């Protein structure tokens, strides 16, 4: 039996387990990336592990999220990351060099290699044929130290692309179509592989747009083959030597096959407030818009912005629309500046931002009250933009630009004949904003620069014999990590200050939650299905840990968050019968008797609802290894135990 692309890479990196679906597999990790919002914590964890120098082939620390410096906090954290990177063998991508995923694709990604990143959109690297996965900061720290990264062996899904995209229809519309069909939980436990004659018509940045938003499907990762298109891209980045061919075997077996005819697609949009709430731009109609934001790791490549510039050239943005544009990398920015496209964007009235995540994570450009905002980003969760009642739609750069001119939602196909922007034969290469680490013989001399914003991270305790606590919060389906631990310009600077962050935990759902936790001292959270979807931020586990949460009981979990809970020593449990969710109310007195033994012996877990006098069967969502680390009180304790 032949292998899929992902199975080939997994096979070549297998350190433990076997490739049967549902088995725990430990993978050797070739490359890691961090960004600043998760990186400060990841490097504190790396330090706690006591490994002098990273053991990966390439580790890169990017600064791209916390770039709005309204106080000392972000600047201090940047200096901390820069110094720690220098000391421990990590390349440092300075603020201004661009968004981690875009820069990594351009300058570091290598087909056939494994990459984990402390950011959920790390699968962007699948566009270049890497097995690239989002992970919690602690998992990235372990991988930097040479440890395996563990995943549950996923099912394989093949998306067969036929035909070719019509004028004004773009890669964003492809992934929106996949989201429409599969939903935000349709990818959980799966790797999505793209192939077919249609795949060959897509450039690497277009492929990367598609694999990037595979995160919104909940997929473990998404991947394209490494073919002649990949080779041409690497050649244009002066990295042809990094290319290897990589295809699925013709007799590879997939658990699911989906066919998409690219030529049949139309411009689409994800409507408020979920990336899978997809409608055609025509069906949405000509509603009035207030803001357009172009950029993010999904759609800020050279090709994307050249198309936008061509649409805006010699025109003026509608007077009622604020248009902002953030190029994805210094490479893209410089090329636009040199060929005059930047001048076209400025002349049309675009507000040009620095090359960073910016509005995507609420770092500025929050829309007006109730404002309708069209964004080329990947997430439109409620409140994420920084304006609680904003209506955020996710669209392609073409739809965004056409709408910015018209002032209403506009199908770019109305603009007439299409524009053909060729892929450059050579990109502009200048890595002067990537600082290499100190040579081994000088690393001891590097001083770590720690600002006052860095506070201790919470210590977890070994799993107790019995958990007895109240259901301090009950929430519904599709709760995102943006609900659990909101981001945005006001809170993000405190990512290395868990006590301060804890004041905002679940603020979107229930502002009283932190106070309730403090009063009770311990608690359990009850969730619906796909609990913890979205980002990789381990703060969505560390902050509840700090507030005394000992277990989360849900209908189902998103992959990265579930792993982060176990890493933090919080017990993730699912209902054996989903209907039992209805049998628990907020503030019910709950008990998990003899839980330590049940987890250690892989036995039955019974929840006693003492308020209702009922018993509810639960299943822990833990692999054999995760059982051990939850018993130990989290991955850090477990790693320390293993090393002593």
List contacts with ligand MIC (CB under 6 A): 37-38, 65, 119-121, 134, 361, 487, 534-537
- To ligand MIC, the closest distance from the beta carbon of 120 in angstroms equals 4
Q: What is the DSSP string of 239-264?
A: -GGG---B---TTB--SEEEEEEGGG
Binding pattern for the stretch 113-142 against ligand SF4, x by CB under 6 A and - elsewhere: ------x-x---------------------
- Under a CB-based contact definition with an 8 Å cutoff, are residues 211 and 123 in contact? yes
Rounded Cα distance, 395 and 173, in Å = 8
Binding at 536: pick from ligand MIC, ligand SF4, none (beta carbon under 5-8 Å per type): ligand MIC
Stretch that binds ligand SF4, among 131-139, 285-293, 356-364, 629-637 (CB under 6 A): 356-364
Rounded Cα distance, 366 and 394, in Å = 15
Burial of 237 (0-12, 13-18, 19+ CB in 10 A): buried
Stretch that binds ligand SF4, among 195-203, 353-361, 473-481, 507-515 (CB under 6 A): 353-361
Residue among 105 and 229 whose Cβ is closer to ligand MIC: 105
Residue among 34 and 623 whose Cβ is closer to ligand MIC: 34
Cα dihedral 338, 206, 563, 83, rounded to 10, equals -20
Look at the alpha carbons of 171, 172, 178, 181 in this order and tell me if their dihedral is positive or negative. negative
Binding at 38: pick from ligand MIC, ligand SF4, none (beta carbon under 5-8 Å per type): ligand MIC
Binding to ligand SF4, residues 371-410 (CB under 6 A):
377-378
Chain-centre distance for alpha carbon 491? 18
- To ligand MIC, the closest distance from the beta carbon of 137 in angstroms equals 9
Q: Which residues pair with 280 in a beta bridge?
A: 268
- To ligand MIC, the closest distance from the beta carbon of 38 in angstroms equals 4
Pair type for strands 614-620 and 571-575? antiparallel
Q: Which residues pair with 597 in a beta bridge?
A: none
Rounded Cα distance, 548 and 170, in Å = 46
Rounded Cα distance, 630 and 593, in Å = 16
Burial of 417 (0-12, 13-18, 19+ CB in 10 A): exposed
Q: Which residues pair with 552 in a beta bridge?
A: 525, 572
- To ligand SF4, the closest distance from the beta carbon of 393 in angstroms equals 16
Rounded Cα distance, 333 and 502, in Å = 37
Rounded Cα distance, 578 and 591, in Å = 19
Binding at 561: pick from ligand MIC, ligand SF4, none (beta carbon under 5-8 Å per type): none
Binding at 99: pick from ligand MIC, ligand SF4, none (beta carbon under 5-8 Å per type): ligand SF4
Q: What are phi and psi of 505, to 5 degrees?
A: -60, 125
Rule CB under 6 A: choose which of 169, 202, 357, 433 binds ligand SF4.
Answer: 357
- To ligand MIC, the closest distance from the beta carbon of 36 in angstroms equals 8
- To ligand MIC, the closest distance from the beta carbon of 583 in angstroms equals 33
Instruction: Please work out the total of residues on this chain that contact ligand SF4, with binding judged by CB under 6 A.
Output: 11
Residue among 17 and 327 whose Cβ is closer to ligand SF4: 327
Rule CB under 6 A: choose which of 156, 191, 234, 360 binds ligand SF4.
Answer: 360
DSSP H or E stretch at residue 616: strand 614-620
DSSP H or E stretch at residue 195: strand 190-195
Binding at 152: pick from ligand MIC, ligand SF4, none (beta carbon under 5-8 Å per type): none
Residue among 65 and 474 whose Cβ is closer to ligand MIC: 65
- CA dist 206 to 99, 128, 185, 210, 215, Å? 16, 10, 23, 7, 16
Residue among 42 and 473 whose Cβ is closer to ligand MIC: 42
Residue among 348 and 361 whose Cβ is closer to ligand SF4: 361
Rule CB under 6 A: choose which of 99, 292, 454, 526 binds ligand SF4.
Answer: 99
- To ligand MIC, the closest distance from the beta carbon of 403 in angstroms equals 23
Stretch that binds ligand SF4, among 43-51, 216-224, 355-363, 511-519 (CB under 6 A): 355-363
Nearest residue (beta carbon) to ligand MIC = 535
Residue among 360 and 415 whose Cβ is closer to ligand MIC: 360
- Under a CB-based contact definition with an 8 Å cutoff, are residues 629 and 638 in contact? yes
- To ligand MIC, the closest distance from the beta carbon of 537 in angstroms equals 3
Residue among 37 and 374 whose Cβ is closer to ligand MIC: 37
Residue among 375 and 474 whose Cβ is closer to ligand SF4: 375
Rule CB under 6 A: choose which of 278, 294, 361, 622 binds ligand SF4.
Answer: 361
**Does residue 172 have a cis bond before it (omega within 30 degrees)?**
no
Binding pattern for the stretch 287-326 against ligand SF4, x by CB under 6 A and - elsewhere: ---------xx-----------------------------
- Under a CB-based contact definition with an 8 Å cutoff, are residues 340 and 324 in contact? no
Chain-centre distance for alpha carbon 543? 19
Q: Which residues pair with 92 in a beta bridge?
A: 61, 435
Residue among 201 and 277 whose Cβ is closer to ligand SF4: 277
Q: Identify the three-state secondary structure at position 237.
A: coil
Binding at 342: pick from ligand MIC, ligand SF4, none (beta carbon under 5-8 Å per type): none
Binding at 296: pick from ligand MIC, ligand SF4, none (beta carbon under 5-8 Å per type): ligand SF4
| Residue 342 found at the interface with ligand SF4 (CB under 6 A) | no
Residue among 362 and 412 whose Cβ is closer to ligand MIC: 362
Residue among 297 and 635 whose Cβ is closer to ligand SF4: 297
The residue whose two tokens read 């207030």 is 290
Alpha helices by DSSP H, 50-122: 72-88, 100-107
Binding at 537: pick from ligand SF4, ligand MIC, none (beta carbon under 5-8 Å per type): ligand MIC
Pair type for strands 155-162 and 190-195? parallel
- Which strands, in side-by-side order, build the sheet including 149-152? 14-16, 24-27, 149-152
- Interface residue list for ligand SF4 (CB under 6 A): 65, 99, 119, 121, 296-297, 357, 360-361, 377-378
């Amino acid at each position: 039996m032949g292998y899929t692309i992902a199975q080939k890479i997994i096979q070549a990196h297998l350190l433990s387990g076997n490739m049967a679906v549902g088995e725990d597999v430990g993978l050797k990790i070739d490359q890691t990336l961090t960004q600043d919002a998760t990186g400060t914590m990841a490097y504190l964890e790396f330090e706690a592990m006591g490994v002098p120098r990273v053991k990966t082939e390439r580790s890169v620390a990017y600064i791209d999220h916390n770039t709005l410096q309204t106080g000392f906090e972000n600047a201090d954290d940047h200096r901390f990351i820069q110094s720690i990177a220098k000391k421990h063998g990590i390349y440092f991508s300075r603020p201004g060099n661009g968004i981690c995923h875009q820069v990594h694709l351009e300058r570091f990604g290598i087909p056939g290699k494994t990459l984990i990143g402390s950011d959920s959109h790390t699968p962007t690297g699948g566009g270049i044929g890497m097995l690239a996965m989002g992970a919690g900061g602690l998992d990235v720290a372990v991988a930097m130290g040479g440890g395996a990264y563990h995943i549950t062996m996923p099912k394989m899904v093949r998306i067969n692309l036929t035909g070719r995209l019509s004028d004004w229809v773009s890669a964003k519309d492809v992934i929106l179509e996949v989201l429409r069909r599969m939903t935000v939980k349709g990818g959980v436990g799966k790797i999505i592989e793209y192939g077919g004659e249609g795949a060959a018509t897509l450039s690497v940045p277009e492929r990367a747009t598609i694999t990037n938003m595979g995160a919104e499907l909940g997929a473990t990762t998404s991947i394209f083959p490494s073919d002649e298109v990949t080779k041409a891209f690497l050649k244009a980045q002066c990295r042809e030597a990094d290319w290897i061919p990589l295809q699925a075997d013709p007799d590879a077996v997939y658990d699911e096959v989906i066919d998409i005819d690219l030529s049949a697609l139309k411009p689409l949009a994800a409507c408020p407030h979920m990336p899978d709430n997809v409608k055609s731009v025509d069906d949405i109609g000509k509603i009035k818009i207030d803001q357009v934001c172009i950029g993010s790791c999904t759609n800020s490549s050279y090709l994307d912005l050249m198309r936008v510039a061509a649409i805006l050239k010699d025109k003026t943005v509608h007077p009622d629309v604020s248009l902002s544009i953030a190029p994805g990398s210094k490479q893209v920015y410089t090329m636009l500046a040199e060929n005059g496209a930047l001048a076209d964007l400025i002349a049309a009235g675009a507000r040009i931002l620095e090359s960073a995540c910016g509005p995507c994570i609420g770092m500025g450009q929050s829309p007006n009250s109730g404002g309708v905002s069209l964004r080329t980003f990947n997430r439109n969760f409620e409140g994420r933009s920084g304006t609680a009642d904003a209506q955020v739609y996710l669209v392609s750069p073409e739809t965004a630009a056409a709408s910015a001119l018209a002032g209403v939602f506009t199908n770019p196909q109305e603009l007439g004949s299409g524009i053909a922007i060729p892929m450059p034969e050579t990109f502009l290469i200048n890595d002067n904003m990537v600082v290499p680490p100190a040579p081994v013989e000088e690393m001891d001399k590097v001083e770590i620069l720690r600002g006052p914003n860095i506070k201790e991270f919470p210590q977890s305790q070994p799993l107790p014999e019995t958990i007895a606590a109240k259901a301090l919060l009950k929430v519904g389906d599709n709760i995102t990590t943006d609900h659990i631990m909101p981001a945005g310009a006001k809170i993000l600077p405190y990512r290395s200050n868990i006590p301060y962050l804890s004041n905002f935990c679940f603020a979107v759902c229930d502002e009283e939650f932190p106070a309730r936790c403090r009063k009770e001292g311990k608690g359990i959270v009850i969730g619906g299905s796909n609990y913890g979807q979205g980002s990789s931020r381990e703060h969505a586990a560390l902050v509840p840990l700090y507030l005394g949460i000992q277990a989360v009981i849900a209908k189902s979990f998103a992959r990265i968050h579930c792993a982060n809970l176990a890493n933090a020593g919080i017990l993730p449990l699912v209902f054996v019968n989903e209907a039992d969710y209805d049998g628990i109310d907020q503030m019910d007195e709950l008990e998990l008797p003899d839980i330590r033994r049940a987890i250690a012996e892989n036995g039955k877990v019974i929840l006693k609802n003492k308020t209702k006098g009922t018993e509810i069967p639960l299943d822990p969502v833990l692999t054999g290894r995760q059982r051990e680390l939850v018993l130990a009180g989290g991955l850090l304790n477990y790693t320390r135990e293993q090393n002593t």
